[in-house]
Chains A and B, each alone.
Chain A
Amino acid sequence: MMGHQKLVSDIAARIRQQKRISKEEALELHRRADINLLGALAHEIRLKKHPDRFVTYVIDRNINYTNVCISGCKFCAFFKAPGHSQGYVLSKEELAKKILETKKLGGTQILLQGGLHPDLSLEFYEDMLSFIKKEFGIHCHAFSPPEIVHFAKISSNSIKEVLQRLKLAGLDSIPGGGAEILVDRVRRQTSPNKATSDEWLDVMSTAHGLGIKTTATMMFGHIETDEERIEHLDKLRSLQDATNGFTAFIPWPFQPGNTEIKCKPATSHEYLKVLAISRIYLDNFPNIQASWVTQGPKIAQISLFYGANDFGSTMIEENVVAAAGVSHRLSENKIRQLITQAGFVPKQRLMDYTLADERDQSV
Chain B
Amino acid sequence: MTDSLEQAGLLDIYHKVTNGERLSPEDGVRLYNTAHLPALGYLANLVREQKNGNKAYYIYNQHINYSNVCSNLCKFCAFGKEKQAPGSYEMSIEEIENKIKERLKEPISEVHIVGGIHPDLPYSYYTNMLQAIKRIRPQIHIQAFTCVEIAHLAKLAGMSVEDTLKDLVRAGLGSIPGGGAEVFSTRIREKLCPEKLPGKEWLEVAKTAHKLGIKSNATMLYGHIETVEERIEHLVALRKAQDETGGFMCFIPLAFHPKNTGLEEVAPTGGIDDLKNIAVSRLMLDNFPHIKAYWVMLGPKVAQIALWYGADDLDGTVLEEKITHMAGGETAQAMTRSEIERLIRAAGREPVERDTLYNRI
Binding site for B on A (CB under 8 A): 16, 34-40, 43-44, 264, 266-270, 272, 295-302, 304-306, 337-338, 341-343
**A194 to B328, alpha carbons, bound, how many Å?**
42
For residue B129, give the distance in angstroms from its CB to the closest CB of chain A: 36
Q: Which residues of B contact A16 (CB under 8 A)?
A: 3
Residue of B nearest to A342 (CB): B272
**CB within 8 A of B343: which of A36, A40, A267?**
A267
**CB within 8 A of A305: which of B37, B267, B348?**
B37
**A306 to B36, alpha carbons, bound, how many Å?**
10
Interface size on B, residues (CB 8 A): 33
Q: Are B37 and A298 in contact (CB under 8 A)?
A: no
**CB within 8 A of A298: which of B3, B7, B271, B346?**
B271
Q: Are A296 and B301 in contact (CB under 8 A)?
A: yes
Which residues, 251 to 300 on B, are CB-close (under 8 Å) to A? 267, 270-275, 298-300
A-B contact pairs, 17 of them (CB 8 A): A16-B3, A35-B38, A36-B39, A36-B308, A39-B37, A40-B39, A267-B301, A267-B304, A268-B301, A269-B304, A270-B346, A296-B301, A297-B270, A297-B271, A301-B270, A302-B37, A305-B37
Q: Which residues of B contact A272 (CB under 8 A)?
A: 305
Binding site for A on B (CB under 8 A): 1, 3-4, 7, 35-39, 41-42, 45, 267, 270-275, 298-302, 304-305, 307-308, 342-343, 346-348
Given contacts A341-B267, A341-B272, contact A39 B301 (CB under 8 A): no
Residue of A nearest to B275 (CB): A302
Q: Are B271 and A36 in contact (CB under 8 A)?
A: no
Interface of A is mostly: helix
Summed over the interface, the residue pairs from A and B with CB atoms below 8 Å come to a total of 97
Q: Which residues of A contact B39 (CB under 8 A)?
A: 36, 40
Q: Which residues of A contact B301 (CB under 8 A)?
A: 267-268, 295-296, 298-299
For residue A27, give the distance in angstroms from its CB to the closest CB of chain B: 16
Q: Are B305 and A269 in contact (CB under 8 A)?
A: yes
**A44 to B347, alpha carbons, bound, how many Å?**
23
For residue A41, give the distance in angstroms from its CB to the closest CB of chain B: 8
Q: Are B299 and A298 in contact (CB under 8 A)?
A: yes
**A5 to B82, alpha carbons, bound, how many Å?**
58
For residue A292, give the distance in angstroms from its CB to the closest CB of chain B: 11
Q: Are A296 and B299 in contact (CB under 8 A)?
A: yes
Q: Are A338 and B270 in contact (CB under 8 A)?
A: yes
**A255 to B113, alpha carbons, bound, how many Å?**
37
For residue A291, give the distance in angstroms from its CB to the closest CB of chain B: 12
Given contacts A264-B342, A296-B299, A298-B302, contact A269 B347 (CB under 8 A): yes
**A297 to B3, alpha carbons, bound, how many Å?**
30
Q: Are B299 and A305 in contact (CB under 8 A)?
A: no
**A41 to B302, alpha carbons, bound, how many Å?**
21
A43-B36, A302-B271, A342-B270 given. 10 additional CB < 8 A pairs?
A: A36-B45, A39-B38, A40-B36, A43-B38, A267-B346, A268-B302, A269-B308, A269-B346, A272-B305, A297-B270
Q: Are B38 and A305 in contact (CB under 8 A)?
A: yes
**A170 to B126, alpha carbons, bound, how many Å?**
73
**A342 to B343, alpha carbons, bound, how many Å?**
25
Q: Which residues of B contact A301 (CB under 8 A)?
A: 270-272
**A72 to B308, alpha carbons, bound, how many Å?**
39
The 8 A-B residue pairs with the shortest CB-CB distance in the complex, in nearest-first order: A298-B271, A39-B38, A268-B301, A305-B37, A40-B4, A36-B42, A40-B38, A302-B271
Q: Which residues of A contact B275 (CB under 8 A)?
A: 302
**A232 to B267, alpha carbons, bound, how many Å?**
39
Q: Which residues of A contact B270 (CB under 8 A)?
A: 297-298, 301, 338, 341-342
**CB within 8 A of A37: which of B1, B302, B343, B347?**
B1
Q: Which residues of B contact A40 (CB under 8 A)?
A: 1, 4, 36, 38-39, 42
**A285 to B271, alpha carbons, bound, how many Å?**
26
**A154 to B45, alpha carbons, bound, how many Å?**
56
Q: Are B271 and A299 in contact (CB under 8 A)?
A: yes
**CB within 8 A of B1: which of A36, A43, A270?**
A36
For residue B72, give the distance in angstroms from its CB to the closest CB of chain A: 29
For residue B314, give the distance in angstroms from its CB to the closest CB of chain A: 13
Given contacts A36-B42, A302-B271, A342-B272, contact A44 B7 (CB under 8 A): yes
Q: Which residues of B contact A297 (CB under 8 A)?
A: 270-271
Q: Which residues of A contact B3 (CB under 8 A)?
A: 16
Q: Are B346 and A35 in contact (CB under 8 A)?
A: no
Q: Which residues of B contact A266 (CB under 8 A)?
A: 346
**CB within 8 A of B41: which of A36, A295, A298, A338?**
A36
Q: Which of A43, A44, A297, A298 has most chain B Cβ within 10 Å?
A: A298
For residue B224, give the distance in angstroms from its CB to the closest CB of chain A: 14
Q: Which residues of B contact A337 (CB under 8 A)?
A: 267
